[in-house]
Chains A and B, each alone.
Chain A
């Protein structure tokens, strides 16, 4: 296990996480149940229970610059199993929001996927799978991503070049316009 050098405690950070997630950090007594069940733990640089501890200790920089908060799949195993009923997955979500806002982007491909997905929805109201793939490739320069799947999908009639039609898709675009958050196209 890696030792972490603690920095000066930033209590505003902890308070912000609590306010935005509606969870109380003091309730975590570090049992480790969340980490034990986390299917992504093998890929995390910081285990989820350790993230909980670091938020308690107001370690803004360390937490917001980790990879784990980008790799959490919101599977909610931690939330389901926490003996103190903490919505741990929601805290992971909030930390990712905060990392986005402050420009701590540790997993560029994950962010590119999310941005491409939402840009597609904004444009056509419904998700257009081809649009997401193209947007992702443009954002990352990984032009052959999933090219092996394309042939199968075409032959199964699952890939449409045109987005699925919807009336008033501008109503959905309006939601994004009003939201005006950190989605960069």
Chain B
């Protein structure tokens, strides 16, 4: 595919705790001939705290960004973050109702458009770039790397809103990574919630839920867990020691973003994929898989 241009919403975590997701996503997109055009002057989507407080406020915070996309002349925007995606989609859906749209617009300087759609970058890779193009770009398959794909709760849910993949047994990430020459083992906890929203206020709860995921991955003898969500990643990677402490375990499980493994299979440099930013050191696992 030749120089497709797509509006790209990085989300706040992309500028901080998930910098490597943003970096590796842009790197791989560019390598596959896609220009990711950052939404001009984007702001926070409000994430879960906004809809926990009020649905109109939440739609307005996201709607402001849909208006920014429209002003760039685009009607499609992609974001790597499922939480941002869920909010952007919710806003796009909510403003189809006249009453809600009036309320949302009363909070905004620039009206929220009704014709801008948001999709995940995962969906963009699968549907608009395509598995064939991805496979053609692979120069460095990693057949001895055994991973499980963990989608988290929001990537495909609720199905009526997300309209992507299977809500109980999604396969999009599995298929992409298999295309990249990686061994993907079936994972029964694919869509279970990791509890990330409560990492700060109720760490006891989130540790238990994240612990379940790490335990299952290690029982299946996975070398690593692969994710598509910055909140899941932070919870499983950065907080892995907290989880170990709370659950009495000793996991040292690398948690990759799927874009990082895509990039490695395409021979892209570790630096441009932000591998050194992962909290659990991925190098031993990569060395075993023959990646240098």
A residues with a Cβ closer than 8 A to B are 39-40, 42-43, 71, 73-77, 79-80, 87, 89, 93, 96-97, 100, 107, 109-110, 112-115, 117-118, 121, 125-127, 129, 132-133, 136, 145-146, 148-149, 152-153, 156-160, 164, 166-169, 171-172, 174-176, 178-179, 181-183
Q: What does the 1/0 interface line of B238-252 toward A look like (CB < 8 Å)?
A: 110110000000000
Q: Does the CB pair A157–B157 fall under 8 Å? A: no
Q: A117 to B202, alpha carbons, bound, how many Å?
A: 15
With contacts A76-B158, A79-B158, A179-B56 taken as known, whether A167 is within 8 angstroms of B201 at the C-beta atoms is no
Which candidate, B42-50, B121-129, B172-180, B264-272, is the interface stretch facing chain A? B42-50
Q: What does the 1/0 interface line of B177-206 toward A look like (CB < 8 Å)?
A: 000000000000001110111111110010
Does any Cβ of A come within 8 Å of B71's Cβ? no
Q: Does the CB pair A73–B44 fall under 8 Å? A: no
Q: Does the CB pair B158–A107 fall under 8 Å? A: no
Q: Does the CB pair A157–B277 fall under 8 Å? A: yes
Q: Does the CB pair B201–A136 fall under 8 Å? A: yes
Closest to A118 in B: B49
Closest to B15 in A: A164
Which residues of chain B come closer than 8 Å to A76, judged between CB atoms? 153-154, 157-158
Say which residue of A43, A127, A159 sits within 8 Å of B47 (CB atoms): A127
Can you identify 19 A-B contacts, CB atoms within 8 angstroms? Answer: A40-B193, A73-B193, A76-B157, A77-B157, A80-B157, A93-B52, A109-B200, A117-B47, A127-B12, A136-B201, A149-B238, A156-B279, A158-B16, A158-B19, A158-B277, A172-B44, A172-B61, A175-B57, A181-B54
Which residues of chain A come closer than 8 Å to B191, judged between CB atoms? 77
With contacts A77-B193, A117-B49 taken as known, whether A157 is within 8 angstroms of B107 at the C-beta atoms is no
Q: A163 to B64, alpha carbons, bound, how many Å?
A: 20
With contacts A71-B205, A164-B12, A164-B15 taken as known, whether A97 is within 8 angstroms of B238 at the C-beta atoms is no
With contacts A71-B198, A174-B109 taken as known, whether A181 is within 8 angstroms of B53 at the C-beta atoms is yes
Say which residue of B57, B109, B167 sits within 8 Å of A80 (CB atoms): B167
Does any Cβ of A come within 8 Å of B108's Cβ? yes
Chain A interface, >50% SS class: helix
B270–chain A nearest beta-carbon distance, Å: 14
Q: Does the CB pair A160–B16 fall under 8 Å? A: yes
Q: A130 to B106, alpha carbons, bound, how many Å?
A: 31
With contacts A107-B202, A149-B239 taken as known, whether A96 is within 8 angstroms of B52 at the C-beta atoms is yes
Say which residue of B19, B55, B56 sits within 8 Å of A93 (CB atoms): B55
Which residues of chain A come closer than 8 Å to B74, judged between CB atoms? none
Q: Does the CB pair A179–B57 fall under 8 Å? A: yes
Which residues of chain B come closer than 8 Å to A181, judged between CB atoms? 53-54, 57
A125–chain B nearest beta-carbon distance, Å: 4
Say which residue of A146, A160, A164, A175 sits within 8 Å of B108 (CB atoms): A175
With contacts A42-B208, A79-B158, A164-B12 taken as known, whether A171 is within 8 angstroms of B44 at the C-beta atoms is no
Closest to A164 in B: B15
Given A74-B48, A149-B238, 10 extra CB contacts under 8 A: A71-B198, A71-B205, A73-B48, A79-B157, A121-B61, A127-B44, A146-B200, A149-B239, A153-B238, A174-B109
B183–chain A nearest beta-carbon distance, Å: 28
Q: Does the CB pair A166–B43 fall under 8 Å? A: yes
